[in-house]
Structure 1
Amino acid sequence: MGASEFSLVQAVVLLGAATIAVPLFRRLGLGSVLGYLAAGLAVGPFGFGLINNPETLLHTAELGVVMFLFIIGLEMRPSKLWTLRRQIFGLGAAQVVTCGTLLTLAAMAAGVSFPVAAVGAMGFVLSSTAVIMQLLKEQGDTSSPEGQRSISILLFEDLAIVPLLALVALWGSLASPIGANNESVWQAAAIAVAGFAALLMAGHWLLDPFFKIIARSGAREVLTAAALLVVLGSAVFMESVGLSMAMGAFVAGVLLAESNFRHQLEADIEPFRGILLGLFFLSVGMSLNLQIVADEWRMVLGGVVTFMLVKALGIYAIARLTGSAHSTAMSRTVLFAQGGEFAFVLYAAAMAAGIFDLRASAIMSAIVILSMALTPILLIAQAQMRKRAPVAIDLDGVDKAEGLRGQVLVIGFGRFAQVASQALLARRVEISVIENDVKMIRAAANFGFKIHYGDGTRLDVLRASGAETAEVILVCVDDPEAADHIVELCQAEFPMTTLYVRSFDRGHSLRLINAGVGFQIRETFESALVFGQAVLTELGFDEDQARGAIEEVRERDKERLELELIGGLEGGRKMIRGNTETPEPAPLFKTRSNSADIGT
């Protein structure tokens, strides 16, 4: 199927391959990125040969990366981006320069000339924005502090492509007069800066009024078209002045982050982003030249291993030097230890400038693609190793639970226990508190609470915490299974001590009542009743009516619990539906269903 035959048939092939491979790989725990790469490899010219023009498809699919960066920009308000400036130009620059230097030296040690080694190394330094952002999104880490640091590094790498392309052009034209070289480089830099400034000004003064005019038309499809116009127009403009399309889309997103149309734009762009980003990974998989890998397998595999190890060493060193913990540094190392899509741009420029020949470009491209494919696998392996490795807890400055004595023992000091304990402390009741979250213990210490480290699910810890002599034990952990285990231990070993237990939901309450716990309360039940009472008074019901309604709900819930204890859950369901002989109080308002709280 030739390049001229790209049609609905190829679209069906791509969609079919993705539909089969991605769910399968996600089910196997390998992630969607690897699924797309494998699907692309299978249908591409070096697989079954169903599609023979991956380069054309790759250029189209880069729009997925562009739209991804636009959506990320929408989430990064200018003020937030300003707070990341040190991470972008400090952490990002340190990682790029350090890793680029190390990789260049490694390539030169293998006998590669300096220009080829430097271009190959710097191409590999520019990690894959598409892979990293997709993995961060799947892990839910895009808004975490480490996720923000990762985004900062990626932003700097996007900026770095500009001077790198200028450097490639300079090396490629060494035979020309030096003055002409300098003039062309400075001219390109001036155009890039002027274009960037023009986009900032246009975005600041024109974008919001533009969308207001479009919104007045009332045509939803026109607003979608306008959103696509802004994203693609910014990307094309940035590319025309020598910057990356992704950078243009990101800047447009940041400029619209405080717009009234932010959420609408995000909803309009998201479907296109998802499809095109998947298409990008498919095209990268199709671009892997298996013939080159087979013919030059020693060079390719050696390059993959060497480049990933050397880059990983540089990333880890920078992360540790900038204050990251070992686990955080390792996570960033695995995430960034691959090459990325900007390498293809840089290598194509190197070929055009005469620095790379066809063989060097194919080998380096294969190294980059294989490293991108390995990243999800390495992340999975790291997660498995982290689960198996014993967790070393830093207890520096934290006291363990030993020899405690108190009238009340509190197990777990989350939000629930913090509120519950205040009344006890106000009446000077002697309490002991144990918690197994070291961060929580240190945070509580800042507010004057003395919390001891201890795992309440262990009998020896309970004894050391004074459970034998305590009059009351408050089980306030947020894990229902852990709470059940603590209750079982306390009832077996300290039967004379009264238990008060925080319950997770109705099912957990039933288990605790069946276990003989004297007092249990669902963590959100009473606060939800107070919330409902406040809403009723706001709607015009007087205090007595609102209070009466809440008491009816409380009594009805009590009856349901008793019935479920006697007749099982099915009996409780029948009562809720009104199919039992026990009458229910008439609701204040007619609703579609009165069983909404069945699992609360």
Structure 2
Amino acid sequence: MDGMLFQLFVYLCAAVIAVPIAKRLGLGSVLGYLIAGIVIGPALGLVGSETSEIQHFAELGVVMMLFLIGLELDPSTLWAMRTRLLGMGGLQVTLSAALIALAALTLGADWRLALAVGLIFSLSSTAIVMQTLTEKGLTSTQGGRSSFSVLLFQDIALVPLLAVLPLLASPELMLIDAEALVHAPEATDADTLVHAAELSLVAGLPGWAHGLVVLGAIASVLLGGHFLSRPLLRFVAESRLREIFTAAVLLLVVAIALLMTLVDLSPALGTFIAGVILANSEFRHELESDIEPFKGLLLGLFFITVGAGIDFEILFGDFTTVLGLTIGVIFLKGCILFGLARLFRLKTTDRWLFTLGLAQAGEFGFVLLNFSLSNSVIAAADAKLLSLVVALSMLLTPALFVIYDRLIQPHRSGVEPTDADEIDEQGPVIIAGIGRFGQIVNRLLIASGIRTVVLDHEAAQIETQHRFGIKSFFGDATRPDLLRAAGIEEAQLLIVAIDDRDRAVQLVEYVKRRYPSVKVLARAFDVNHLYLLRKAGADVALREVFDASLRLGAEALKQLGMHPFKVEKMARAFRRHDEAGLDQLYELWDEHPDVAKNRALLARAREHRETLAALMETDRLQLHDRTERGWTPPPKGAQE
């Protein structure tokens, strides 16, 4: 236990110190994590043999990241990406593998080894690239979208790669491994074999059965995600216990990752599919906000283990070879990537972003190298050397992004004309609360063609909206992480219509402090609540019953026989006087007034009521009103 606490302390301490420093220096958080790993691993020796085990656990961060990416894509969006996904992604993997294999053949490698190395190094780091693109706000650029398409294809390609690599086994290595087994029979006892079989549902199955099990696993993810996940999440949400909902979300992700592992598929691919299925779910934003902290911590831990796992003894012992191979891989992949960027007509800056971002090897390279080692494809010495090349190329990736930031992006305006901004007067509007008040606001905006994101913490309310075809999402709008997931950073308006008056004030105060450019319109329950919302910074705050009360009062006057025009004029005068009075009283209002200030406020309120009564009496006695709208017929029995 003490050892575990010490390791936890070391990793957290390294992250807390190194990452902020790296961010301040403009190097990005990924490089900060990698440097932290190097410091606590090879440099100080604070972590050791447990690094690889921790890395396997930390790969859950990559799995969660793919789940979150899937949540951002509904099936129609994924279909729209098919050209980049299949065309650009397929060409990148094929051409990169071929060129790297050709280079390996030139260096004297056997054709089996050369092809295996080419396939392994054709993949890039989803974790580093997507984390960096998101951090720098580049995911929505042409280069960012193209990078994501290629990375997604690479994750899909991992499945056939696991099937192809054993076919490249070297006869010499197979013979050596067989002799090693003969001389070490204790390593192949029945318990070991049973344990290995327990970790796989497809071990020892014939090809057709293996395929059926894999298809069944994928089908279970598709059907379960579509038909079972929503009722489950709805049931858990009704408990109104946030920690249980978070546990349910983690259970969903871990269960899918475990199922994919049992059938020898990529866990990241399985959770990505589940994310796409849930992209249109009302729980989408809540899922994002609950998974995001775990994803960030685990990804950070993964990057630290990459840095800590670098074997500096091999690096310094054969530094020229390792560095040469690393630069060679980056250069060869860069050539392919740059050519594809030109072929698919990316703009100059996006072309360089695409090229520099994907030129490294990926975290799945470690998995494939270990898999190749266990299947007699690569010798142990070569696997260690190539693992170091993978790690070093990942370590250099943040430096490539620094080159993009410092040398390429600043010259963007001089290299190419920038596209005009797309003016969208129907910009995103977030509505917090979809009760009776929020429903009417949302219906008016949707009818006017304005896109809205609706959040409500009542699962039953969300379900009701869905029955009427109104898209809305489950979640507590006062949570900062959920607001970010809903797009508060890009929103033009936030409409606060939640039923809890205190939380409404807190929400307005937080948004105006953190996102001052967002206009906030809020529903007030009464005058005191309206003043609290004003104090919190609301741009507009309206009492929920004022308009309805005024209209009903005007209708009462009409029913009593008063001319409609006179009623309309009196109602408008009442509104103007009331709004002016609110402004005057606000100057004296205090949330916690002393006695003297309270007396002054009450005196001003009495004066305001007396002025209003006099104004209404004057309007009522004006006789010329009946002729100002001759076309408006007075109701039957109207007073003359």
Same fold (TM over 0.5): yes
The change in CA–CA distance for 1:360 and 1:543 in structure 2 (over 3 A counts) is: farther
The change in CA–CA distance for 1:122 and 1:396 in structure 2 (over 3 A counts) is: closer
Q: CA deviation at 1:135?
A: 0.4
- Equivalent residue of 2:414, what SS? coil
Q: Which moved more, 1:208-217 or 1:389-398?
A: 389-398
Does the 8 Å CA contact 1:315/1:333 hold for their aligned counterparts? yes
Pairing partner for 1:148 from 145, 149, 153: 145
1:513 match: none
- C-alpha separation between the residues in 1 aligned to 2:419 and 2:131? 39
Q: How does 1:197-596 map to 2 (within 5 A)?
A: 197-386=219-408, 389=411, 391-392=413-414, 538=547, 542-544=571-573
Matched, 1:55 2:48: no
2:135 match: 138
Pairing partner for 1:86 from 79, 83, 86: 83
CA offsets per residue over residues 489-544 of structure 1, 9 Å max, x none? xxxxxxxxxxxxxxxx99xxxxxxxxxxxxxxxxxxxxx99977999975656544
Computing the radius of gyration from Cα coordinates, the structure with the larger value is 2
**Residue identity matched to 1:86:** T
* Percent identity of equivalent pairs: 37
Q: What TM-score results when the alignment is normalised by the length of structure 1?
A: 0.65
The change in CA–CA distance for 1:547 and 1:81 in structure 2 (over 3 A counts) is: farther
**Residue identity matched to 1:320:** R
Q: CA deviation at 1:213?
A: 2.3
- C-alpha separation between the residues in 1 aligned to 2:123 and 2:424? 43
User: How many residues get paired?
Assistant: 432
Does the 8 Å CA contact 2:101/2:114 hold for their aligned counterparts? yes
Does the 8 Å CA contact 1:66/1:235 hold for their aligned counterparts? yes
- C-alpha separation between the residues in 2 aligned to 1:319 and 1:109? 27
**Residue identity matched to 1:7:** M
Does the 8 Å CA contact 1:89/1:156 hold for their aligned counterparts? yes
Does the 8 Å CA contact 1:200/1:251 hold for their aligned counterparts? yes
Q: CA deviation at 1:264?
A: 1.9
- C-alpha separation between the residues in 1 aligned to 2:369 and 2:16? 32
Q: CA deviation at 1:96?
A: 1.1
Q: How does 1:66-145 map to 2 (within 5 A)?
A: 66-145=63-142
- C-alpha separation between the residues in 1 aligned to 2:418 and 2:231? 56
The change in CA–CA distance for 1:208 and 1:396 in structure 2 (over 3 A counts) is: closer
Q: CA deviation at 1:108?
A: 1.5
- C-alpha separation between the residues in 2 aligned to 1:17 and 1:298? 29
Matched, 1:168 2:169: no
- C-alpha separation between the residues in 2 aligned to 1:229 and 1:554? 53
Q: What TM-score results when the alignment is normalised by the length of structure 2?
A: 0.61
Matched, 1:12 2:9: yes
- C-alpha separation between the residues in 1 aligned to 2:111 and 2:168? 11
Matched, 1:196 2:193: no
The change in CA–CA distance for 1:275 and 1:393 in structure 2 (over 3 A counts) is: closer
- C-alpha separation between the residues in 1 aligned to 2:261 and 2:347? 38
Does the 8 Å CA contact 1:533/1:547 hold for their aligned counterparts? no
2:487 match: none
2:530 match: none
- Equivalent residue of 1:126, what SS? coil
- Equivalent residue of 2:59, what SS? helix
Q: CA deviation at 1:395?
A: 7.2
Q: CA deviation at 1:202?
A: 1.7
1:29 match: 26
Q: CA deviation at 1:187?
A: 5.2
- C-alpha separation between the residues in 1 aligned to 2:106 and 2:209? 35
- C-alpha separation between the residues in 1 aligned to 2:412 and 2:133? 25
**Residue identity matched to 1:142:** T
The change in CA–CA distance for 1:397 and 1:244 in structure 2 (over 3 A counts) is: closer
CA offsets per residue over residues 350-398 of structure 1, 9 Å max, x none? 1011121122111111111111111111111222112554733667999
2:476 match: none
The change in CA–CA distance for 1:535 and 1:361 in structure 2 (over 3 A counts) is: same
Q: Which moved more, 1:22-31 or 1:373-382?
A: 373-382
**Residue identity matched to 2:54:** L
- C-alpha separation between the residues in 2 aligned to 1:203 and 1:100? 34
**Residue identity matched to 2:328:** T
**Residue identity matched to 1:356:** I
- Equivalent residue of 2:282, what SS? coil
2:184 match: none
**Residue identity matched to 2:232:** F
Does the 8 Å CA contact 1:338/1:368 hold for their aligned counterparts? yes
Q: What is the RMSD of the two structures over their aligned residues, measured on CA atoms?
A: 3.7
Q: CA deviation at 1:7?
A: 0.6
- C-alpha separation between the residues in 2 aligned to 1:73 and 1:303? 34
**Residue identity matched to 2:215:** V
Does the 8 Å CA contact 1:304/1:368 hold for their aligned counterparts? yes
- C-alpha separation between the residues in 1 aligned to 2:249 and 2:37? 29
- C-alpha separation between the residues in 1 aligned to 2:143 and 2:317? 40
- C-alpha separation between the residues in 1 aligned to 2:135 and 2:114? 34
2:622 match: none
**Residue identity matched to 1:192:** V
Does the 8 Å CA contact 2:138/2:144 hold for their aligned counterparts? yes
Does the 8 Å CA contact 1:100/1:122 hold for their aligned counterparts? yes
- C-alpha separation between the residues in 2 aligned to 1:531 and 1:254? 37
Does the 8 Å CA contact 2:166/2:377 hold for their aligned counterparts? no
Q: CA deviation at 1:220?
A: 2.7
CA offsets per residue over residues 35-83 of structure 1, 9 Å max, x none? 1111111111x22111112111110111111111112222222222222
**Residue identity matched to 1:309:** F
The change in CA–CA distance for 1:276 and 1:537 in structure 2 (over 3 A counts) is: same
Does the 8 Å CA contact 2:348/2:416 hold for their aligned counterparts? no
Does the 8 Å CA contact 1:119/1:347 hold for their aligned counterparts? no
Does the 8 Å CA contact 2:64/2:271 hold for their aligned counterparts? yes
